């Protein structure tokens, strides 16, 4: 087995699959640390090479979006925070600070693009875009604001 497949197997073994919006696709150790974005980029690159493996897209894109949940409305970012019932920012009772957020942000911005795929169960769907299909089979893809530079059209 080549190195890329080995790396993908390790990444899939160390990411959260729990259906919890703030942790899905993130590293097991903590939410939103810079490695989440880097690992997501690896999974999305692997999906680009194997567009029939929807699991790579699902987990990779979830980790990409989870990283943005750490940017607050005022533009401040907090690396590695955990959810708290009162909604206060910070990590393990420490105040919010950016730490290595920029490293992950670079990987995240480099990997971010819209994905339009033909899912075997749900039909034409989009990650980071709206997809509509006309009666004659023509797809209309409208990327979300901010990620309208690149579009990947997957299997189907």
pLDDT in tens, 25-73: 887 666 667 788 888 999 999 999 999 999 999 999 988 888 787 777 7
- pLDDT single digits (tens) 105-149: 888 888 788 999 988 888 899 999 999 988 888 888 998 877 667
Domain residue limits, the chain? 3-112, 113-156
Burial of 137 (0-12, 13-18, 19+ CB in 10 A): exposed
CA 94 to chain centre: 26
pTM (two decimals): 0.80
> For residue 103, is pLDDT > 70?
yes
Sign of CA dihedral 129, 133, 134, 139: positive
């Amino acid at each position: 087995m080549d190195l890329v497949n080995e790396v993908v197997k390790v990444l899939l073994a160390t990411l959260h699959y729990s259906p919890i919006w703030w942790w899905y696709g993130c590293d097991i150790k903590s939410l939103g640390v810079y490695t989440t974005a880097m690992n997501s980029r690896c999974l999305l690159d692997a999906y680009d090479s194997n567009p029939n493996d929807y699991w790579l897209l699902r987990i990779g894109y979830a980790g990409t979006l989870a990283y943005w949940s750490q940017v607050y409305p005022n533009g401040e970012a907090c690396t590695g925070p955990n959810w708290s019932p009162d909604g206060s920012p910070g990590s393990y009772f420490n105040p919010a600070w950016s730490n290595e957020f920029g490293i992950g942000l670079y990987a995240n911005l480099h990997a971010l693009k819209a994905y339009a795929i033909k899912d075997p169960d749900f039909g034409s769907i989009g990650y980071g875009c709206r997809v509509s299909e006309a009666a004659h089979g023509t797809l209309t893809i409208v990327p979300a604001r901010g990620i309208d530079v690149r579009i990947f059209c997957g299997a189907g």
